[in-house]
Amino acid sequence: MDDGWETARNPNRPPELKTDPATGLVDMPGAQEWSVLRLAAVAGSISELHIDTAHFRGNYPESVLVESCDAPHATSKQLMGDGVEWRPLLERVRLGPDELRKFAKEDLVAHTASSRATHIRVTMLPDGGIMRVRAFGEAVEPMPEEA
């Protein structure tokens, strides 16, 4: 796609996808595709989240999971490894084709929606495309300069 984030087909994707009977979502073991986004400012809380699959009609992810962390001085290496503690912000939720899903504060994990955040990590399962991700919240201080 011209704009957005589109992954290649997951190389570990089994030939036949199985659904978890408890959740109704695809059971996808192994490595997942994810992206870390640095917020414009340190957020005292995140009150709304938008996941947009605009223009991805046949290649949208089945579901998405969003996590947040409070690590203003973390390096890229720390953010991509085990250097920070990621907390759930939005539990895994089903997406649809060519849609803008808006999640209000009530949809977000309660203890994280009221926690400080400097970055969010978006994991798409099993693969597909997302046009844009927007996180809205209350800025409590400027984001420190990157090292």
Query: pLDDT tens, position by position, for the chain (147 residues)?
Result: 457 778 776 677 777 878 889 888 888 766 678 899 999 999 999 999 999 999 899 889 999 999 999 999 999 999 998 889 999 999 999 999 999 999 999 999 976 666 899 999 999 988 889 999 999 999 999 999 875
Q: Are 119 and 74 in contact (CB under 8 A)?
A: yes
Residue 24 has which token pair?
């109704």
CA dihedral 35, 36, 41, 46 (to 10 degrees): 70
Handedness of CA 3, 89, 147, 138 (dihedral sign): positive
Q: What pLDDT is attached to residue 31?
A: 62
Q: Round to whole Å and give the CA distance between 99 and 57.
A: 9
CA–CA separation, 95 vs 97, rounded Å? 7
Q: What are the boundaries of each domain within the chain?
A: 32-142
What's residue 1's pLDDT? 47
Q: Which CATH class for the 32-142 domain?
A: mainly beta
